[in-house]
């Protein structure tokens, strides 16, 4: 067996060891709203959701559901396979552009790093694993330099664009390759199709920004209009990713704890300024390693816009950029191992880092096992985010500790007084406790904030029916049915009340 095949096999074994034991993790967080409650209603040709968005992963999930059913392992296996493919491509690209050792180190770092877990073990995060695989595949075909491979590269790049709106800047990866690798032989004409199709995506999603902002406002119950200050946003975001890459501790779904003292912000800004300064130097001098500095930046460009259409920091955002950081690690580690006196100490350090990263990845994957384990871990790392405590309330409801659940929902409301979901959950918990007066107060508040919260209408119908006010119960139930006509729980209530 050749050294290349041995490395590819080793990468596959490492990823299998880290992720296959967690294949049966439950549906969690957005998996439930985006898959469990939706997939049975998907009917082609509208499975892609056109014309509101273009997400290829929805089509993948549609196929998985109709082949395997609603089982989480099948959806999660897709993510793992994409991760394996991406790691192999990182090795192949690193080997071609540098040498086999750099490619192997970079691919291994990418394969086992805990920062990748959110895009692999979380089903809803798999879109990032998908577009990374397609982008790397497209770049590999582009590097092959044959006419047939080139047009296949364009086709695969289109698949990449169809996975997610955050792929809009990805044509810059090909420009970066031409600039740093081809240098004087830049094929400007070859870049045209990549920028043309990307421009089409910019026009499409540009028209949807208002819709996206409205969706975020409705889901978070906070005003998200206006612009973020990039002089604050970019240093905070990039320095946070550096920190999580070097010390991947405190990983969380909600990176809400982003308040820093002036001197902490100053240090972070200096680190980012130096990093980007080195990138500019490499850009001007066309240093080959500069490609990976700008790879890191380009991969995050769509999330660094001042438009409030996403999180400032999210681990899934950095999945593709992790390739750039891993390549830089590979280049640095290769320089160390090239010195005879440093070879053995370098291997010892490398082995320690390998074990540490694998351990942290396994630990993080255990936190994704169920809704309860995920939210209990998130409560430790994200105490200032209202949904953290709303989710913890759900945890205590499932455990039967209703008094503790009301405390959690109340805490969420304290952090965000306009949090309709928390009011609903508080009211629903009061129903379970038999405290119907308090339940009605909370549910009516939820409806007042969010008139489309059909669950609150449903619970109000139940309360009013129990109190003997059948006509009022019918009114609320009909409103719930109007908003969510396909929900099975409403069908059962319809038989009882109507």
For 283-298, the pLDDT digits (tens) are 999 999 999 999 999 9
Phi, psi dihedral angles at 64 (to 5 degrees): -60, -45
| Residue 323, pLDDT above cutoff 60 | yes
Residue 372 buriedness (CB in 10 A; 0-12 / 13-18 / 19+): middle
Report d(CA 282, CA 192) in Å as an integer. 24
| Residue 237, pLDDT above cutoff 70 | yes
Report d(CA 22, CA 14) in Å as an integer. 14
- Which uninterrupted H or E stretch holds 383? none
User: Are the C-beta atoms of residues 405 and 436 closer than 8 Å to each other?
Assistant: no
Q: What is the DSSP letter of 26?
A: P
Residue 103 buriedness (CB in 10 A; 0-12 / 13-18 / 19+): buried
User: Are the C-beta atoms of residues 142 and 150 closer than 8 Å to each other?
Assistant: yes
**307 beta partners:** 227
Phi, psi dihedral angles at 229 (to 5 degrees): -80, 110
Report d(CA 179, CA 191) in Å as an integer. 11
Residue 231 buriedness (CB in 10 A; 0-12 / 13-18 / 19+): exposed
| Residue 223, pLDDT above cutoff 60 | no
Rg (alpha carbons) of the chain, rounded to whole number: 25
What confidence tier does 206 reach under pLDDT thresholds 50, 70, 90? Answer: low
| Residue 92, pLDDT above cutoff 80 | yes
Helix (H, G, I), strand (E, B) or coil at 485: coil
Top CATH class, 372-497: mainly alpha
Residue 363 buriedness (CB in 10 A; 0-12 / 13-18 / 19+): middle
Q: For the chain, which residues make up each domain, given as ranges?
A: 3-367, 372-497
How far the first Cα of the chain sits from its last, in Å, is 71
Per the prediction, the chain carries an average pLDDT of: 90
User: Are the C-beta atoms of residues 363 and 248 closer than 8 Å to each other?
Assistant: no
Q: What is the pLDDT, as a whole number, of residue 35? A: 85
Where b means 16+ CB within 10 Å and e means fewer, 427-445 reads: bbbbbeeebbeebbebbeb
| Residue 45, pLDDT above cutoff 90 | no
How do residues 126-154 score in pLDDT, each as one tens digit? 999 999 999 999 999 999 989 999 999 99
| Residue 48, pLDDT above cutoff 50 | no
Q: What is the pLDDT, as a whole number, of residue 51? A: 43
**227 beta partners:** 307
Q: What is the pLDDT, as a whole number, of residue 112? A: 98
User: Are the C-beta atoms of residues 169 and 301 closer than 8 Å to each other?
Assistant: yes
195 or 214, which is more confident? 195
| Residue 220, pLDDT above cutoff 70 | no
Q: What is the DSSP letter of 229?
A: -
Lowest mean pLDDT among 75-79, 215-219, 288-292, 470-474: 215-219
Q: What is the mean pLDDT of residues 197-225?
A: 64
370 or 307, which is more confident? 370
Report d(CA 480, CA 485) in Å as an integer. 8
**Which residues lie below 8 Å from residue 251, measured CB to CB, with a gap of 6+?**
114, 115, 117, 118, 244, 315, 364, 381
What confidence tier does 221 reach under pLDDT thresholds 50, 70, 90? Answer: low
How do residues 22-44 score in pLDDT, each as one tens digit? 999 999 999 998 888 776 655 55
**Comparing C-alpha atoms, which of 179, 170, 169, 135 is closest to residue 155?**
135
What confidence tier does 208 reach under pLDDT thresholds 50, 70, 90? Answer: low
**Comparing C-alpha atoms, which of 125, 118, 144, 132 is closest to residue 88?**
132
| Residue 215, pLDDT above cutoff 60 | no
Q: What is the DSSP letter of 100?
A: H
Alpha helix ranges (H) inside 301-370: 321-337, 340-367
Report d(CA 394, CA 392) in Å as an integer. 5
| Residue 345, pLDDT above cutoff 90 | yes
HSE-up of residue 485 (Cα within 13 Å, Cβ side) = 2
Q: Count of CB atoms within 10 A of residue 250's CB?
A: 13
Q: What is the mean pLDDT of residues 409-432?
A: 96
């Amino acid at each position: 067996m050749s050294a290349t095949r041995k490395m590819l096999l080793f990468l596959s074994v490492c990823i299998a060891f880290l992720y296959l034991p967690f294949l049966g993790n439950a549906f969690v967080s957005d998996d439930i709203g985006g898959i469990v409650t939706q997939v049975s209603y998907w009917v082609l040709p509208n499975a892609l959701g056109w014309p509101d968005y273009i997400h290829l992963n929805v089509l993948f999930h549609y196929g998985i559901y109709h082949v395997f059913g609603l089982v989480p392992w099948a959806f999660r296996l897709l993510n793992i396979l994409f991760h394996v493919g991406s790691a192999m491509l990182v090795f192949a690209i690193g080997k071609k552009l540098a040498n086999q050792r750099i490619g192997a180190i970079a691919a291994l770092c990418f394969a086992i790093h805990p920062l990748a877990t959110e895009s692999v073990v979380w089903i809803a995060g798999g879109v990032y694993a998908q577009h990374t695989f397609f982008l790397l595949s497209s770049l590999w075909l582009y590097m092959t330099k044959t006419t047939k491979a080139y047009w296949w590269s364009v086709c695969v790049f289109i698949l990449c664009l169809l996975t997610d709106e955050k792929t809009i800047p990805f044509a810059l990866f090909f420009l970066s390759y031409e600039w740093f690798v081809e240098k004087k032989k830049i094929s400007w004409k070859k870049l045209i199709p990549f920028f043309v199709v990307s421009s089409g995506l910019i026009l499409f999603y540009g028209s949807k920004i208002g819709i996206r902002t409205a969706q975020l406002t409705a889901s978070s119950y906070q005003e998200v209009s206006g612009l973020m200050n990039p002089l604050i946003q970019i240093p905070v975001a990039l320095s946070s990713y550096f920190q999580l890459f070097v010390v991947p501790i405190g990983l969380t779904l909600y990176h809400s704890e982003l308040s820093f003292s002036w001197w902490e912000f100053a240090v972070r800004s200096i680190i980012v300024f130096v990093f980007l300064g080195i990138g500019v130097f490499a850009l001007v001098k066309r240093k080959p390693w500069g490609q990976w500095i700008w790879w890191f930046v380009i991969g995050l460009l769509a999330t660094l816009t001042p438009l409030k259409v996403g999180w400032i920091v999210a681990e899934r955002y950095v999945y593709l950029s992790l390739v750039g950081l891993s390549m830089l690690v590979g280049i640095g580690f290769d320089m160390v191992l090239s010195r005879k006196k440093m070879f053995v100490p370098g291997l010892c350090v490398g082995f320690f880092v390998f074990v540490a990263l694998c351990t942290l990845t396994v630990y993080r994957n255990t936190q994704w096992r169920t809704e309860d384990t995920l939210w209990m871990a998130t409560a430790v790392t994200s105490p200032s985010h209202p949904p953290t405590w709303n989710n913890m309330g759900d945890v205590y409801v499932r455990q039967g500790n209703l008094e503790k659940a009301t405390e959690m929902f109340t805490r969420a409301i304290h952090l965000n007084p306009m949090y309709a979901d928390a009011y609903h959950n508080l009211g629903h918990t009061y129903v379970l406790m038999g405290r119907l007066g308090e339940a009605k107060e909370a549910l009516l508040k939820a409806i007042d904030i969010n008139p489309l919260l059909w669950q609150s209408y449903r619970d109000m119908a139940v309360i009013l029916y129990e109190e003997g006010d059948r006509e009022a119960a019918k009114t609320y139930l009909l409103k719930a049915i109007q908003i969510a006509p396909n929900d099975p729980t409403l069908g059962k209530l319809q038989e009882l009340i109507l």
